[in-house]
Structure 1
Amino acid sequence: MPRKDCGSKWKEAGRRRSFSSGFPEQACKDFAIWDRIPTFLMKRRRFLGSVTGGALAGAVGVGNAAPQPTVPPLAGPLIKTPAVLMAPRADGIEVVWAVGRLCRGWVEWKSADGATGKASEDAFGFVPQGDRIVRVKVDGLKPGTAYQIRAVAESGDGEKAHEETEWKSFRSLDAKAASTTFVVWNDTHQWNDTITALHQAPPKADFLLWNGDTCNDWSQEDWLAPTLLHPGGQDVSDGRPMFVVWGNHDVRGKWAFRMPELVATPSGRPYYAFRSGPVAFICLHTGEDKPDDHPSFGGRVAFEALRREQAEWLKTVIAQPEFRDAPYRVVFCHIPLRWTEEVPDAQYQKGGYDAFSRFSREAWHDSLVAWKTQMVISGHTHETAFLPGNEKFPYAQLVGGGPKPEAATWIAGTADKSALKFVMKDLSGKVVQNVSFKPLV
């Protein structure tokens, strides 16, 4: 939309919105500082927040239902969440689930051709075990093959108990496949109604990409497992094994450092690359939306170094044949690298934040251009947008919606030899964006 229309839209929205009576009065008082922030800094922030450690940490919308970080666990004494299929690869996958007490676990798998297997050891020679989370990495699978998989847990504290999950189906990734399908969500912020609708709306696909801001913040440790492994009471990796990209709210709160214990990636790092059919995907961590030394972070973050590390890694990855020669090239990162209104000063000292990650763009831009990146897919702003590539920024930018049901969106991605297509829909099924690209090679 034109710049002036965008601003007037959000000014009017700011006048209409009000706070829920179910949240602390102090949170409302702290929101008073936002009256001093220019409108263009406020598009995403006129929604209900919470105060953690004296800093504004809110990022959940005001709607018909408040965000709910927890859901009732599963009934058994051991297994408390579904077995979540994460970080699918051509030769394997990782399975993560929450447990109610100390236990050991393993994964069993079978394929249609009669092959079976069991993954029951970790990198240190132990059977995978834990008193909160069990993670099992499965190796040795065949590319592009349909499998059924289940998790098994046994008590490890002397009391006999044994539990199994239901068998769950998935297909290993295949770089040589003629086509691929995928689904993208972002900014769910523990809105269970939104998550339920997002889980039910899309079709099954080769993978789901959860593009950041799974939470508002991790101020309570017991939010982690239900939010990441059983969000909204849904088995979100059923029919779509899952990748996770970190958002800025995912690194907030005193328990944020535990999130890596529950999230598997192909590389073991918060940035990674993979190939599915004719598309090469690169997933990057944009970090926070303010500098590392901002007082709201309390000295807990070091994203400047992580961005530099990713910049060096990018140079290596884009030179590898399976990425260098891919017909289609897509980047996922939570904070956009481009935005509709790019201001030179975000006014951090007045409560401002980055609507786009200038820090990340400066670190990665040259590599993304050299790779001939076609699309960068992000969230963060809680406002949908599409910016076509141009001479200065050859890569297009697609941005998903927000956590409120009326603002939420999902993206269906499909690719074959003729085209790479992105169709963004809202929860009513209305098409919000429809973009396609021709193959590069």
Structure 2
Amino acid sequence: MRNILLILYVVLSLVAAGQDAKQGVAKEEILRTNPYLQNPTNAGITVSWQTNVPCYSWVEYGLDTAHMQRAHTLIAGQVISNNKLNKIRINDLEKGKKYYYRVHSREIIEFKPYKKVFGEEYVSPFYSFSLPTDGKEEFTALVFNDLHQKRELMDALIKVVREGGVEYDFVVFNGDCIDDPSTEAQAIESISYFNDRVGASSKPVIYIRGNHEIRGAFSMDFTTLFDYAGGKSYGAFSWGDTRIVMLDCGEDKPDDHWVYYGLNDFNNFRREQVEFLNAEHASAAFKKAAKRILIHHIPLWNSPQAAENETDKYQPCTEMWGDLIAAEPYNLILNAHTHRFASFKKGAIPVVIGGGNTMNSASVMVLTNKSLECYNTNGEQILNLEI
């Protein structure tokens, strides 16, 4: 009888243990997004990606695929793990060299103080990237704006780029591309679609906020999906001999507008950027640059041909930043927001405003350190500007 009870106890214990054991997912179910490159500054780059389950993730990288190093994120001595969002920085890279990398994500099924249970491991294909050298290296960048999550616009514009044989080094999304993000899933789905279309696994991408990225339940967490130069949603970086400055204009209505329910304070945020601009304009990087390009979503100045309803009556950025920027030797300013393509000059500075969010109004910019070309969805060139 005792033996029977013992056997029954063992069987019941094994059944209970099996019921408590957590099951992992198949390796092909681990990845949520492909890796996307960001923040190519200071001889380093950030590799970002999302997983569907908590993982320990790392990046393998090297000058060839046979000799690889490992990078993972450490904070206060701990490897960041048991998470889904990855932003892994690779530092001390050689500029001008071609690097290969791949990402690893190993599922963590159980994470206890004295016990870790791991599941399957996803390993990506190899991707490659290069960082610019200092000096007069030429570059080509794509600039999109006001896509409003419309995939047909992205498809049409990237088709123009590909059919034109344009080889580019990085991509800027200048606001209102991921509009009104209400959930993380919505934001990630749209970002992933755009990233995959521009090859963000090999080309760094920069997402500048427009006023629509600031609206929606997920808007406060939107910037956590990216690694910005300087750690803010505004900043500056150099590519070759060109300095690129980016600003975050905030909302297009006053902070006390009823629609914000008292939850905005963009006036102080814009004043913070006044301090940034003063420091940037005084910096050696800005002063020694051969070219200086400013990118932000809401225009400080509108085209003389603009209709009255294209111009926001509320213009705090113009009031706070206008004189400061107009006094500096910028070679080009790129804007968006009005949904109408325009090109004009503010003093000696060329200003170009990207097109709208329909097939008939959308545009893509092809920016180099020598010129700016703009195209519509039909592939027709609508601007060819020497910088």
CA distance in 1, matches of 2:140, 2:66: 26
Matched, 1:224 2:187: yes
Stretch moving more, 285-294 or 201-210:
201-210
CA contact (8 A) 1:205 1:239 kept: no
Do structure 1's residue 385 and structure 2's residue 371 form an aligned pair? no
Post-superposition Cα deviations, 1:195-253, rounded to whole Å, max 9, x if no partner, equal: 22333433332211111112220123320211223338636414421112111101101
Provide the rounded CA distance (Å) in 2 between the counterparts of 1:76 and 1:279.
Answer: 41
Q: Percent of aligned pairs with the same residue?
A: 25
* Among candidates 322, 325, 329, match of residue 368 of structure 1: 325
Whether 1:411 aligns to 2:354 is: no
Which residue of structure 1 aligns with residue 100 of structure 2? 148
Residue 398 of structure 1: aligned partner: 352
- Alignment partner, residue 5 of structure 1: none
2:91 — aligned with what? 139
Q: Note if 1:162 corresponds to 2:147.
A: no
Amino acid at match of 1:387: F
Counterpart Cα distance in 2 of 1:211 and 1:356: 21
Alignment check: 8 A CA contact 2:34 2:196 kept: no
Q: Which runs of 5+ in 1 are unaligned?
A: 1-73, 347-351
Residue aligned with 1:318, SS: helix
* In structure 2, C-alpha distance between the alignment counterparts of 1:208 and 1:264, rounded to whole Å: 14
Q: Which letter maps to 2:85?
A: I
Report what 1:298 is aligned to. Answer: 261
Q: TM-score, normalised by structure 1?
A: 0.74
1:338–1:356: 8 Å Cα contact kept in structure 2? no
Whether the 8 Å contact between 2:106 and 2:118 is mirrored in structure 1 is no
- Tell me: CA distance 1:241–1:199, structure 2 relative to 1, closer, same or farther (3 Å): farther
Distance 2:314 2:43 in 1: 34
Higher helix share: 2
Q: Partner residue of 2:152?
A: 193
Does the 8 Å CA contact 2:36/2:195 hold for their aligned counterparts? no
The one-letter code sitting in structure 2 at the alignment partner of 1:384 is: F
1:176: which partner in 2?
A: 135
Alignment of 1:40-119 (within 5 A): 76-112=28-64, 116-119=68-71
Q: Residue type of the partner of 2:152?
A: D
Which amino acid is 2:120 matched to?
Answer: A
Q: Deviations over 1:139-180 (max 9, x none)?
A: 111222221222211112235110022222221133324322
Deviation at 1:414, TM superposition (A): 1.6
- TM-score scaled to structure 2, two decimals? 0.83
Q: Structure 1 counterpart of 2:154, which letter?
A: I
Aligned equivalents of 1:395 and 1:267: distance in 2? 26
Give the alignment partner of residue 207 of structure 2, picking from 241, 244, 269. 244
2:293 is aligned with what amino acid?
Answer: V
Instruction: Label 1:404 to 1:371 Cα distance change in 2 as closer, same or farther (>3 A).
Output: same
Instruction: Determine the C-alpha separation between the residues in 2 that align with 1:136 and 1:232.
Output: 17
Aligned length: 350
Change (3 A) 1:297 1:174: farther
Q: Is the 8 A contact 1:106 1:128 kept in 2?
A: no
Structure 1 residue 260: deviation in Å?
Answer: 1.5
Return the alpha-carbon distance in structure 1 between the equivalents of residues 291 and 195 of structure 2.
33
What corresponds to 1:68 in structure 2? none
| Larger fraction in strand | 2
Q: Which residue of 1 aligns with 2:384?
A: 434
Larger radius of gyration: 2
Aligned match of 2:221: 258
Pick which of 163-172 and 111-120 moved more: 111-120
Structure 2: gaps of 5 or more residues: 1-25, 110-116
